[in-house]
Amino acid sequence: MGRTGQIGPVGPTGIIERWTFYREFWFDQDQGTIHNADRYQLEQIASYMRNNPSLELGLDGSAVSGSAAGRNRDLADSRVRAVRNGLINAGVPADRIGNALIANPDHRREGRVAVLLRTTPGYVGTSTAYDDSRSGAEFGRGTVDDWTTYHTFSFDADQTNIHSADRERITEIVSFMQRNPNMVLGISSSQQAADRALATRRSNVLRDTLIDEGVERSRIRIGEFGDGRISRSGRLEVLVMTDRAASQQR
């Protein structure tokens, strides 16, 4: 069998009628500041929007309801403003950034702002850009030299089961790995002593689920990847890297 050829370009942008998940920003408890490790996403989103003038962004910082609903709402609004201002500073026009609500409330996660995309209603024009509308799609066209966040999974307290609302992310990851045979996955979790045992069990559940869905075990690694300063208590990060680059870091 010959060597696998290079992955071709993604097709032209189509019509995205509904708000579609694109990226997300996670925040530490009671904080409204974007992590330095996540600021690269602002530039990536701004670049994508420059290449796709037919699209607009929606920011969803919906807080989970509870006894502190008022405080949660204020904090969620502060986080949305931080992402909005970061995007504007990165070059996204303010009139292309609005608010959006994820249709399924089960997708909402305390501590994050979701960035969604859709075609601007009534847009008239021709776009020759490429469609990266699925999170991480751009990774397939080059070398990813550092562990780069692709998706995150949140867990209920002391639980290891994957939320049913997050199952679509499993499907996305499996599809991405099938399209990108040069990539490996890293599952990164909290390495704090108090969290380590539970984090390891969660990592194993996620790894086994990905294997059951078709990702080769040899392409999945468990450990601490990415920026170690970021708190991952209660969640797992799935990161991607080119296999050759990952091998050099061993």
pLDDT digits (tens, 9 = 90+) for 51-79: 888 889 999 887 554 544 556 778 888 99
**Identical fold between 20-119 and 137-248:** yes
d(CA 196, CA 21): 30
Domain covering 137-248 assigned CATH 3.90.1300.10 in the classification: no
* pLDDT of res. 144: 64
| DSSP assignments along 16-34, one per residue | --S-EEEEEEE--TT----
- 110's CB contacts (< 8 A; 6+ apart) are 63, 64, 72
Which residue type does 197 have? A
CB 154 within 8 A of CB 234: yes
* pLDDT of res. 129: 33
d(CA 120, CA 124): 9
Max mean pLDDT among 2-6, 18-22, 56-60, 124-128 falls in 56-60
Max mean pLDDT among 57-66, 145-154, 182-191 falls in 182-191
Average pLDDT over residues 145-162: 82
Is the pLDDT assigned to residue 216 strictly greater than 90? yes
Supply the pTM of this predicted model. 0.50
Domain boundaries, the chain: 20-119, 137-248
What is the CATH code for 20-119?
3.30.1330.60
